[in-house]
Amino acid sequence: MRVEVYIMDNKYRVRKKSVDLPDGSTIGDCLTLLEKSNCIENIHPYAVSRYGHRVKSCVVLVENDRIELSVALPSDPMIRRRLKALSNKNR
């Protein structure tokens, strides 16, 4: 099974990597393979998504899936807006 992986680095450059995995592999298996082949340093600083939707590492992959490994945002925009609204409310 072939999966396309798009990896974003800290300078927001994206590179594409094709990965061959056995049928029934999970995203966690794909990340482990990428780490062993030195395509990524470690799996912790990345936000993992499939076709733009966040997913967990236990999700089973299918043929021709597209996995995106992007740099995690320093803070969640929803939480920032919520905190800003609460601070404006208390004025």
Q: What is the pLDDT of residues 15-74, one digit of tens each?
A: 999 999 999 999 999 999 998 988 887 756 788 999 989 999 899 999 999 999 988 777
State residue 38's pLDDT score: 87
Q: Is the pLDDT of residue 77 over 70?
A: yes
Asked if residues 8 and 45 have their Cβ atoms less than 8 Å apart, the reply is no
Output the CA torsion sign for 28, 23, 21, 73.
Answer: negative
Output the CA torsion sign for 60, 42, 2, 11.
Answer: positive
Q: 11 versus 6: which is more confidently predicted?
A: 6
Structure-token pair, residue 71 = 């740099």
State residue 17's pLDDT score: 94
State residue 30's pLDDT score: 93
The answer for residues whose C-beta is within 8 angstroms of residue 67's C-beta and 6 or more apart is 3, 4, 5, 6, 27, 30, 48, 49, 50, 61
